Amino acid sequence: MKKDFSEALGRHEQRFGQAGLAFAAPARVNLIGEHTDYTGGLVMPMAIGFHTVATIGPREDGRAVFHSENFDEEASYEIASLDSKPEGRWSDYPAGVVWSLRQEGVRIDGFNMTLSGDVPVGAGLSSSASVEVATAMAVLGRAHFALDLKAVASLCRRAENEYVGAKSGIMDQFVVAGGVAQRAMLLDCRSLEFELLPLPAGVRVVIANSMVRHDHATGGYGDRRDEVETGQAVLQRERGIELLRDATLADLEACREKMPAVSYARCRHIITENGRVLEAREALLQGDVKRFGELMVAAHASMRDDFEASCSEVDMIVEIALRQPGCFGARITGGGFGGCTVNLVDVTKTGEFVAAVRSEYRAATGIEADCFVCEASDGALALAKDGTA
C-alpha cells in the first residue's frame, strides 16, 4: 500500500528552507518468538503500517542536525567527531546510526533531517528500530551508498547496542528494513536466514495497546537478558552448547541445580518458545489458524509465568480477547512489562472484537485502550525501491 509523504517533505522544506528526500521505515509486531533473538533463536515478526519518515537535505558545515516533530526538539552533532557518548534522549537513536554508518566506512556529509511519524512510542511496536532504519535509509540515500538487508539491520542494531546502550537483538531492525507485504517473516537470528510465510486471508492481526508501561520496563528487560545469559553460560560450560537456541529441555533439566532458579525459568521460556515458532510455521503453511492461535496462548503463558515479563493489565487484555467470538489467539508482544498484545481475529469479527476489548478493558481498569487492525506491510528497503518515499 502506497503512502503519501508529501506533507513531511513540505514541513521539512518550511523548517530548513530547502527541499529534501523522504525515506520511511515501518513499525513491527512480533507474532510469536519473544526474547529469543539475542540468543540466536527464532522469531516470527511482520512489518505493519505505522511509519517513521526521515526527510533529509544538505548542509555545508559538516554537522548532522535532527529535528523531531514528535518531541518538538532539535539536536546537532559534528559528524567528524561523533563518538559513542549517548545523552539519554531521543536523538541518541539517529545519532547512533550516523556513528554506526561511519564504522561501516560510509562517507557522510553534513545534513538536516526531520523525523516524523505515527509509530506509538513505548508500546512494544519498535519505534526505536523504525527511527534507526529510517535514518539509515535517508543517510545512505543521500550518500548514494547501497547496503543489503543484513548490513542495514546489523548496523542499526549496533547503533542501539553500542551507542544507545540497549541490549536488543536484531529482530526489530531486520523486519523493519526487510518486511514484505502480506507475509510474516520467520527469521533465524543466528544465521540471519529468513523465510516469508503466507498469512491466511480470512484473519487480521489486531494490536491492543494496554496504554501501560511500567517504570521497571527498561531495567526489567536488561535483568531478564542477564538472567538468560547466566543460564546460557552454564549450558555452555556443562553441555558444550554454543547458544541457548541449541539447547533442549533435557539439557536444561540436567543443569537445573547449577544455575539460579530464575535463570532456569527464563531459559525454559526461550527453549520452548523456539519450538513454538517452528510449530507456528507449520500451522501457517497448513493454513491451520486454530493451531496458530493455541501456540500464541501458550506463548503468553510462558512469558507471564516463566519469563515474568507480563503485567496485570496486559494479562487482562489477553483474557478479554480470548473470550470474544472469532479470536483465535492472543498474547503479549514486545519486550514486556506493559505495551501491546497481538491478537489473531476472524476478519468478519474485527469490528466487534475491537469494541468489546476496549469496552471491557475500560470497565475493568478505567483505561482507554488503543486498538489497531493491521496487515503485513513492506519494510524500508521495499518502500525505497518502489519510490513510495
> Residue 67 gets which letter from DSSP?
E
Residue 202 CA to its chain's centroid (Å): 25
For each successive 10 residues of the chain (389 residues), what is the average pLDDT?
A: 75 93 95 94 95 96 96 96 88 97 94 93 82 97 94 96 88 96 96 95 94 66 90 97 95 98 98 98 97 98 97 97 98 89 97 98 96 93 68
pLDDT of residue 214: 65
pLDDT of residue 386: 55
CB burial of residue 219 (10 Å; 0-12, 13-18, 19+): exposed
pLDDT of residue 296: 98
Helix (H, G, I), strand (E, B) or coil at 27: strand
pLDDT of residue 221: 77
Q: Dihedral sign, CA of 350, 181, 309, 293?
A: positive
**Cβ neighbours around 172 below 10 Å, total:** 29
What would the 3-class secondary structure string for 243-258 be?
Answer: CHHHCCHHHHHHCHHH
pLDDT of residue 388: 43
For the chain, give every domain's residue range. 6-199+377-385
The phi, psi pair for 148, rounded to 5°, reads -85, 180
Give the angle 115-116-118 at the CA atoms, nearest 5°.
Answer: 145
Closest by alpha carbon to 217, among 341, 336, 369? 336
Taking a C-beta distance cutoff of 8 angstroms, is the pair 67, 112 a contact?
yes
Largest CA distance in the chain: 66
Residue 56 CA to its chain's centroid (Å): 24
Give the separation between CA 259 and CA 13, rounded to whole angstroms. 57
Distances 138 to 53, 129, 144, 301 between C-alpha atoms, Å: 9, 14, 10, 40
CATH of domain 6-199+377-385: 3.30.230.10
pLDDT of residue 262: 97
Give the separation between CA 341 and CA 389, rounded to whole angstroms. 29
pLDDT of residue 5: 77
- By DSSP bridging, strand 183-188 and strand 63-68 are unpaired
Taking a C-beta distance cutoff of 8 angstroms, is the pair 143, 94 a contact?
no
Give the angle 292-296-302 at the CA atoms, nearest 5°.
Answer: 140
Q: Which residues are catalytic?
A: 172
Taking a C-beta distance cutoff of 8 angstroms, is the pair 250, 61 a contact?
no
Q: For the stretch 145-160, what's the b/e string if a residue is b when 16 or more beta carbons lie within 10 angstroms of its beta carbon? A: eebebbebbbbbbbbb
pTM of the model: 0.91
